[in-house]
Amino acid sequence: MSTRKSIFWFEDDPTSLKDEVKVLKEKYDVTIGAQWGLITKSRQNQFDLVLLDLMIHHKSSDYESGEVEPNVTFPDVHWTQTGVEFLGRIRKGEYKSYGFRKDVPVIVATAVVNYPAREKTKEKGISDYLEKPFTITALEEMIENALQF
């Protein structure tokens, strides 16, 4: 059993963050993606932290090629709000059996910089908000701060 902290990164384009993920994997167990099958996988262990992108496209190029399951979609939710919806479902306890406890620390890591998005995520109890593009140093500092609580 691993004693390393476990991070779930809700992100539809993992290849754009390959350098960041490579660095994080040296210290943490990292699961990255936004595919329904990945999120709803039954797990015995809980994640210690969630990194959350707010803009999750319904279809990625990988999905269109048939190589992966579709990204998470929620009825009547515009794709730029999907991350907020995912966060809300975590906070309601809907994904507890999938490794997401209700009070898991969440860092929003997104290109969405508008005020309404910040407010919606703050209302749902995020630990921090990191705007893309960001440095790996800034990301690591936020992760370390969030995991201390």
Its pTM stands at 0.87
Mean pLDDT, to the nearest integer, of 80-96? 87
The pLDDT of residue 108 is 95
Q: By the 8 A CB rule, do 49 and 106 touch?
A: yes
pLDDT in tens, 48-65: 999 999 888 755 444 444
The pLDDT of residue 61 is 44
Question: What Rg value do the Cα atoms of the chain yield, rounded?
Answer: 14
DSSP 1-19: ---S-EEEEE-S-GGGGHH
Topology of domain 6-147 in CATH is Rossmann fold (3.40.50)
CA dihedral (26, 28, 32, 37) positive or negative = positive
Q: By the 8 A CB rule, do 99 and 47 touch?
A: yes
